[in-house]
């Protein structure tokens, strides 16, 4: 798209004032955001059950004059709030689900805080400076295994031709950042296939006539053992992990049914596909050797997270404005996965990382990470990140050159 002289002048004249407005707005809202953060942190909800979170966040936004639609795109625990008319669209993604039994041990309360802070700051700057474009806050449920963003993609949430960027950021333990950096812009996550496997055998009395049974637990144990042996032939950047969800009822009854839950990860979807087939073979072999039937129940695949360098560099440059030293890109993938990876295959995307203080042996999905995610220090880190996200949203809306570069980078990766 050609850039007009008026657009260039707007980008030059209004940017600095707009950025300052966004930062000041977030500072003014900090105490209220802290209360919101605490409420979400103290009331964790798992995938697709985030009803309290959605109601609480929606009320927070409505109290500040925003129109909020709940249950959007066919998901009960999604929501949207949008400001502006016409022009480029920036989507700020919000996460708020927690992990079973260990609460916000992935810090999604902090993701929520940084994203809503960014929305408040960017919208205030847009309205005050009469900036062009639109900003949409999109509630994305069930990141923890439920593939909420994958379902939102299928429902058309990222199909708008005017989407210039989708942005968010994730908390990490501070000790995971090296060389004095206080954050990471270009974070690489790997792809993840998720599936359940069911084994069906035949029940029998385990003591009286075990020869009349077909042991589904033996099939599950054999599958687990097969995968354990497979690991010595796996590459260092691949991961497979599984748990037993149903292993039978009582010891003196041959289990006729068992169920396992598996994640299979690789640096790209293509690599993960190859590994997935090998893991499936491990399960099929277990069924064959025990005489059981086997069924696979797939869940949404999480694609690898693609790094958009123009967006990352802009975030780094603007975070320097508030005294933060952010690493532009880490070429080594972090061997975890996110459904934001799926979004990065749909539109230009930014998924940064910000540090929160933790004990040296604690990182995401550790029970103690949940406690660290509820501290004042973690909140302040999320607020700093929110300022960076707000500035990035403003830059995308007011710098046509940045939006064009981000789109070209995205299309280059898509073609590749």
In tens, the pLDDT along 279-323 reads 999 999 999 999 999 999 999 999 999 999 999 999 999 999 999
Burial 141-170 (b: 16+ CB within 10 A, else e): bbbbbbbbbbbbbeeebbeeeebbbbbbbb
Question: Can you give the C-alpha Rg of the chain in angstroms?
Answer: 23
- pLDDT of amino acid 334: 87
* 8 Å CB contact between 349 and 407: no
Nearest residue to 170 (alpha-carbon basis) of 116, 110, 222: 110
Q: Distance (Å, rounded) from C-alpha 390 to C-alpha 89?
A: 13
pTM of the model: 0.92
- pLDDT of amino acid 57: 98
* 8 Å CB contact between 26 and 398: no
| Residue-averaged pLDDT of the chain | 95
In tens, the pLDDT along 348-378 reads 999 999 999 999 999 999 999 999 999 999 9
- pLDDT of residue 405 exceeding 90: yes
Q: What separation, in Å, do the N-terminal and C-terminal C-alpha atoms of the chain show? A: 22
- pLDDT of residue 106 exceeding 50: yes
pLDDT confidence band for 2 (50 / 70 / 90): very low
Q: Distance (Å, rounded) from C-alpha 200 to C-alpha 342?
A: 33
Domains and CATH numbers, the chain: 12-189+305-415 (3.40.630.10), 194-302 (3.30.70.360)
- pLDDT of residue 194 exceeding 70: yes
3-state secondary structure of 23: helix
pLDDT confidence band for 5 (50 / 70 / 90): very low
Structure tokens of 37? 């953060």
Count of CB atoms situated within 10 Å of the CB of 341 = 24
Q: How many CA atoms lie within 13 A of 377 on its CB side?
A: 10
User: What's the mean pLDDT in 244-258?
Assistant: 97
- pLDDT of amino acid 67: 98
- pLDDT of amino acid 415: 62
Percent of the chain with pLDDT over 90: 93
- pLDDT of amino acid 12: 39
- pLDDT of amino acid 11: 42
- pLDDT of residue 9 exceeding 70: no
Based on the number of CB atoms within 10 Å of its own CB, is 404 exposed (0-12), middle (13-18) or buried (19 or more)? middle
- pLDDT of amino acid 331: 87
- pLDDT of amino acid 6: 41
């Amino acid at each position: 798209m050609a850039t007009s002289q008026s657009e260039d002048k707007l980008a030059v004249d209004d940017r600095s004032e707009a950025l300052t407005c966004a930062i000041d707005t977030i500072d003014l809202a900090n105490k209220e955001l802290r209360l919101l953060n605490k409420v979400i942190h103290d009331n964790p909800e798992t995938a697709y059950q985030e009803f309290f979170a959605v109601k609480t966040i929606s009320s927070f936004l409505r109290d500040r004059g925003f129109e909020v639609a709940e249950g959007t795109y066919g998901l009960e625990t999604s929501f949207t709030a949008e400001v502006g008319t016409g022009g480029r669209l920036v989507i700020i993604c919000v996460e708020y689900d927690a992990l079973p039994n260990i609460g916000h041990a992935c810090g999604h309360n902090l993701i929520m805080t940084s994203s809503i802070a960014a929305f408040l700051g960017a919208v205030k700057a847009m309205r005050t400076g009469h900036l062009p474009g639109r900003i949409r806050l999109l509630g994305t449920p069930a990141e923890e295994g439920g593939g909420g963003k994958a379902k939102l993609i299928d429902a058309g949430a990222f199909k708008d031709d005017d989407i210039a960027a989708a942005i968010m950021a994730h908390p990490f333990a501070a000790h995971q950042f090296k060389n004095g950096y206080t954050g990471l812009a270009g974070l690489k996550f790997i792809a993840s296939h998720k599936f359940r496997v069911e084994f069906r055998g035949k029940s029998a009395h385990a003591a009286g006539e075990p020869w009349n049974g077909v042991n589904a637990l033996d099939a599950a144990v054999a599958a687990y053992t097969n995968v354990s042996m497979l690991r010595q032939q796996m590459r260092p950047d691949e991961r497979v992990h599984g748990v037993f969800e149903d292993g039978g009822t009582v010891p003196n009854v041959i289990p006729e049914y068992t169920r396992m839950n598996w994640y299979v990860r690789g640096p790209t979807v293509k690599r993960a596909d190859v590994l997935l087939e090998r893991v499936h073979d491990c399960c099929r072999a277990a069924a064959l050797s025990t005489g059981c039937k086997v069924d696979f129940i797939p869940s949404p695949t999480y694609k690898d997270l693609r790094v958009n360098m123009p967006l990352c560099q802009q975030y780094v440059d603007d975070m320097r404005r508030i005294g933060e030293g952010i690493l532009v890109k880490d070429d080594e993938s972090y061997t975890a996965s996110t459904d934001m990876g799926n979004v990065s295959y749909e539109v230009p995307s930014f998924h940064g990382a910000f540090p929160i203080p933790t004990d040296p042996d604690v990182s995401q999905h550790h029970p103690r990470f949940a406690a660290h995610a509820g501290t004042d220090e973690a909140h302040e880190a999320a607020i700093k990140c929110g300022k960076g996200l707000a500035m990035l949203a403003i830059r995308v809306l007011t710098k046509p050159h940045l939006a064009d570069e981000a789109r070209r980078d995205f299309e280059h990766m898509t073609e590749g």
